[in-house]
A = this chain, B = another copy of it.
Amino acid sequence: MQDVSANVVERISRDPFTRFLGIELIDLRPGYSRLSMEVTEHMLNFHGIGHGGAIFTLADAAFAAAGNSHGQPAVALTMSINYIAAAQQGKRLIAEAKEQKLGRSAAFYHIAVKTEEGELIASCQGVVHRKGQFQYGPKA
């Protein structure tokens, strides 16, 4: 978590929905994040494989972490996800978000979701809007 303020790490770690899904923050650096999630029984869809919404949420959490890593609030404008392979129950998935460009009012990310063995499950790209010059305070 080098080069990211403790406030920002704490704030991102306390995200209610990602905690609800058991998503864990593995790495956070400016413009970069890596998070993991296990595909549990309640994350399946009616085909019996990992639900697209659960896989997306992991990717989205990585996107939000990377997007907010600079300390300036960033909100998602858009995300596109391609579902490349099915995620089986019990698998641990890793989402890695990489910043493609940090602009003044927008920033761009690519996010890959893979199994621990490295199989690509989903490919995503997203854009955030960076809000003003406001910084997260010491007690956000």
Contact = CB atoms under 8 A, between A and B. Distances in A.
29 contacts: A11-B46, A17-B51, A18-B45, A18-B53, A20-B43, A46-B64, A52-B64, A53-B53, A53-B57, A53-B58, A56-B56, A56-B79, A75-B86, A76-B83, A77-B78, A77-B82, A77-B127, A78-B80, A78-B127, A79-B81, A79-B83, A80-B81, A80-B125, A82-B108, A82-B126, A82-B127, A84-B100, A100-B123, A106-B129
Residue from A15, A51, A85 with most neighbouring chain B CB atoms (10 Å): A51
Nearest to A126: B82
Given A80-B78, A81-B79, A18 B105 contact: no
A80 B79 contact: yes
Interface of A: 11-12, 14-21, 41-47, 51-54, 56-58, 60-61, 64, 68, 73, 75-86, 100-101, 105-106, 108, 110, 120, 123, 125-127, 129
Given A84-B100, A85-B101, A101-B120, A14 B46 contact: yes
Nearest to A13: B46
10 closest A-B pairs by CB: A53-B57, A80-B80, A17-B51, A15-B46, A20-B42, A53-B60, A16-B44, A84-B101, A52-B60, A78-B78
Nearest to A81: B79
